């Protein structure tokens, strides 16, 4: 009888049958280990969750304060039915983790989403040696090669400074969890209040309450004096560019932070004034680096450019295969307004005054 793989790709998740545990399940299960708190990896309805401790505040915000949740430190080992698990930094967002699974001298690692560049907020990525590596490939094409983030932050600073000279609001869009915290840690913060849409304000406050070092933001409400927006920095999720919420900031310049800004025409399709190529996913060179540093004999490529990247690895002497999962891409989560708090937060009420997220969860 052929040996059963330590981790299997099922219609529910990445599954460890020996431990009866699911990694990032996309339907409710009994026991789930979560790589990070983005909504395509952390879904509502499972009986028991386990994640890194820095994910707790956001998981409880998004999935419910009363969920059954166990948290662990990076590198802390725990045993389930003879299988040894541990979580290791993925560098994607706060609390993001690679899941190491060991059984009978065989080691698999599920990467979740990750990036190698230290963003100054999330724990930096650490390579984990394994026999089998399951990797994302969101930006698994050679055209994706990120500039050092300091250069991007400098571009944002210059854009903001120019808008202030012109007495315009600078509306900077990006994913609420991960991208916005990275921006706040990297740019030159103004002395004046930083305004924020409710989706970003709620997450920022939860992280601050959990003890993370982030600046205080000012919530945009219907009562906010519009004169205060002149020359100000306003943080918003990507969905606002097609909403009535944005009209109150006139005159304004609209900026968007995403890896997809590397594609020709992406800025024009979003009707933004300035695109900043900043992604919380690994680029092509670092994707290859991560695979090599894992030392894996076999690589499975999940969401993204799976066929292209797996073929590239095979052509370069690394046994690889593509697998189908239900995880999203940065374009799906950012471009369609899936801000993780779901329809409850990103509905029309939140679009109008940014306060619905305060009541909905």
pLDDT score, position 331: 42
Q: Is the pLDDT of residue 361 over 50?
A: no
Report CA-CA distances (Å) from 149 to 38, 57, 87, 182: 22, 27, 26, 10
pLDDT score, position 265: 61
Q: What percent of the chain has a predicted confidence (pLDDT) above 70?
A: 88
Region of poorest pLDDT, from 77-86, 140-149, 324-333, 334-343 = 334-343
Matching CATH topology for 8-144+281-328 and 149-278+345-360?
no
| Residue ranges covered by each domain of the chain | 8-144+281-328, 149-278+345-360
Q: Establish whether the linkage from the previous residue to 251 is cis, with ω within 30° of 0.
A: yes
pLDDT score, position 165: 97
Nearest to 254 by CA among 183, 334, 268, 265: 268
Residue written as tokens 């982030």? 214
Q: Render pLDDT for 235-262 as a digit per residue (tens, 0 to 9).
A: 999 989 878 899 999 999 999 999 999 9
CA distance 257 to 339: 15
Q: Which H/E stretch holds residue 210?
A: none
pLDDT score, position 329: 53
pLDDT score, position 246: 93
Contact 279, 136 (CB under 8 A): no
Average pLDDT, the chain: 90
* CATH code reported for the domain at 149-278+345-360: 3.40.50
Report CA-CA distances (Å) from 361 to 106, 208, 237, 268, 340: 41, 17, 18, 34, 11
Contact 258, 272 (CB under 8 A): no
The mean pLDDT value for 132-143 works out to 97
Helix 179-186 to helix 149-165 angle, to the nearest 10 degrees? 80
Nearest to 34 by CA among 110, 118, 145, 117: 110
What is 16-74 written as a DSSP string? Answer: ETTTTEEES-SS--SEEE-S-SSTTTS-TT-SEEEEEGGGHHHHHHHH-TTS-EEEE-T
Q: Render pLDDT for 284-300 as a digit per residue (tens, 0 to 9).
A: 999 999 999 999 999 99
Confidence band for 344, pLDDT divided at 50, 70 and 90: very low
pLDDT score, position 269: 61
CA distance 102 to 84: 5
Residues 6+ apart with CB under 8 A from 223: none
pLDDT score, position 115: 98
Confidence band for 87, pLDDT divided at 50, 70 and 90: very high
Report residue 178 CA to chain centroid gap. 5
pLDDT score, position 349: 33
Confidence band for 335, pLDDT divided at 50, 70 and 90: very low
Q: Is the pLDDT of residue 346 over 70?
A: no
pLDDT score, position 263: 87
The mean pLDDT value for 98-107 works out to 97
Arch. (CATH architecture) of 8-144+281-328: 4-Layer Sandwich (3.60)
Q: Is the pLDDT of residue 221 over 70?
A: yes
Q: Is the pLDDT of residue 352 over 80?
A: no
Residues 6+ apart with CB under 8 A from 200: 176, 180, 217, 235, 236, 237
The mean pLDDT value for 344-360 works out to 31
CB atoms near residue 131 (< 10 Å): 16
Q: What percent of the chain has a predicted confidence (pLDDT) above 90?
A: 83
Q: Render pLDDT for 6-40 as a digit per residue (tens, 0 to 9).
A: 999 998 999 999 999 999 999 999 999 999 999 99
C-alpha atoms less than 13 angstroms from C-alpha of 37 in its C-beta half-sphere:
29
Token pair belonging to 288: 């290859």
pLDDT score, position 325: 85
């Amino acid at each position: 009888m052929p040996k059963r793989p330590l981790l299997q790709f099922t219609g529910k998740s990445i599954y460890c049958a020996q431990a009866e545990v699911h990694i990032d399940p996309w339907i409710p299960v009994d026991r789930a280990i979560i790589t990070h708190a983005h909504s395509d990896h952390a879904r509502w309805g499972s009986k028991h969750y386990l994640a890194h401790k820095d994910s707790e505040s956001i998981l409880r915000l998004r999935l419910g304060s009363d969920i059954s949740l166990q948290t662990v430190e990076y590198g802390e080992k725990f045993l389930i039915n003879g299988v040894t698990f541990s979580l290791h930094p993925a560098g994607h967002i706060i609390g993001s983790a690679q899941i190491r699974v060991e059984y009978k001298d065989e080691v698999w690692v599920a990467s979740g989403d990750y990036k190698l560049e230290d963003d100054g907020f999330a724990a930096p990525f650490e390579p984990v040696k394994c026999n089998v590596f399951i990797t994302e490939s969101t930006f698994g094409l050679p055209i994706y090669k990120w500039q050092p983030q300091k250069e991007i932050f400098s571009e944002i600073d210059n854009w903001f400074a120019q808008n202030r000279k012109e007495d315009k609001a600078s509306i900077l869009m990006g994913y609420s969890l991960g991208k916005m915290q990275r921006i706040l840690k990297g740019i030159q913060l103004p002395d004046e209040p930083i305004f924020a849409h409710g989706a970003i304000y709620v997450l920022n406050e939860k992280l601050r309450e959990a003890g993370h070092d982030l600046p205080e933001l000012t919530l945009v409400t219907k009562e906010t004096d519009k004169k205060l927006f002149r020359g100000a920095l306003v943080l918003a999720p990507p969905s606002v560019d097609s909403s009535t919420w944005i009209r109150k900031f006139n005159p304004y310049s609209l900026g968007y932070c995403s890896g997809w800004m590397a594609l020709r025409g992406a800025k024009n399709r979003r009707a933004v004034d300035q695109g900043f190529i900043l992604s919380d996913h690994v680029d092509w060179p670092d994707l290859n680096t991560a695979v090599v540093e894992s030392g894996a004999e076999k690589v499975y490529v999940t969401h993204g450019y799976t066929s292209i990247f797996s073929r590239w690895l095979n052509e370069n002497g690394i046994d690889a295969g593509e697998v189908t999962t239900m995880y999203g891409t940065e374009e799906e989560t950012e471009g369609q307004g899936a801000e993780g708090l779901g329809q409850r937060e990103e509905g029309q009420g939140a679009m109008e005054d940014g306060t619905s997220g305060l009541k909905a969860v």
